Amino acid sequence: MKPFVAKITVSAIVLFTLFMEIWAYNNYSGNTEPPTKHTVKIFRMKFIPDHLTVKKGDTVEWINKDFYQHDVTDEKNKEWTSSPFNQNETWSKVITKDEQYFCNLHKTMKGAIDIK
Ligand SMILES: [Cu+2]
């Protein structure tokens, strides 16, 4: 290879690598928008809304607006629960995967969260 051609080839490789790095960086920073908080109201024996779509890492806060206790419990695997909480009390969870939940005190109360 002639020195001139070699120089052009090296420059092309350097430019391509740089471009790929910028592209990867932009893609990465696109996924780091700050987490947000969503609120689910518990009122008249219902989760409102009963279906939420959130970003991975978002927080969901449940607030109990009934005058009796409710809880928020993992329906499928029973991996987590809020334990019962009172009127105007809240309970929060950071969401990292799709969840289906229910109230363990009133098993017909159900809700779901999907990751976007
Ligand atoms: Cu309940």
Domain boundaries, the chain: 1-32, 37-115
Given CATH 3.40.640.10, say whether it is the number of domain 37-115.
no
Mean pLDDT of 32-46: 94
Q: How far, in Å, CA of 101 to CA of 82, rounded?
A: 11
Q: Mean pLDDT of all residues in the chain?
A: 87
- Distances in Å between the alpha carbon of 32 and those of 36, 56, 60? 11, 10, 18
- 82 Cα to the center of ligand 1, angstroms: 11
Q: How confident is the model at residue 79 (pLDDT cuts 50, 70, 90)?
A: very high
Asked if pLDDT for residue 15 goes beyond 70, the answer is no
Q: How confident is the model at residue 31 (pLDDT cuts 50, 70, 90)?
A: low
Q: Check residue 8 and give its pLDDT.
A: 62
pLDDT exceeding 90 applies to what percent of the chain?
71
Mean pLDDT of 95-99: 97
- 40 Cα to the center of ligand 1, angstroms: 13
Mean pLDDT of 75-82: 96
- 23 Cα to the center of ligand 1, angstroms: 48
- 14 Cα to the center of ligand 1, angstroms: 61
Q: Specify whether the CB–CB gap between 40 and 62 falls below 8 A.
A: yes
Mean pLDDT of 69-92: 97
- 53 Cα to the center of ligand 1, angstroms: 22
Cβ neighbours of residue 15 under 8 Å, at least 6 residues apart?
none
Mean pLDDT of 1-15: 64
- Distances in Å between the alpha carbon of 59 and those of 18, 32, 113, 116? 36, 15, 11, 13
Residue with the bigger pLDDT between 6 and 46: it is: 46
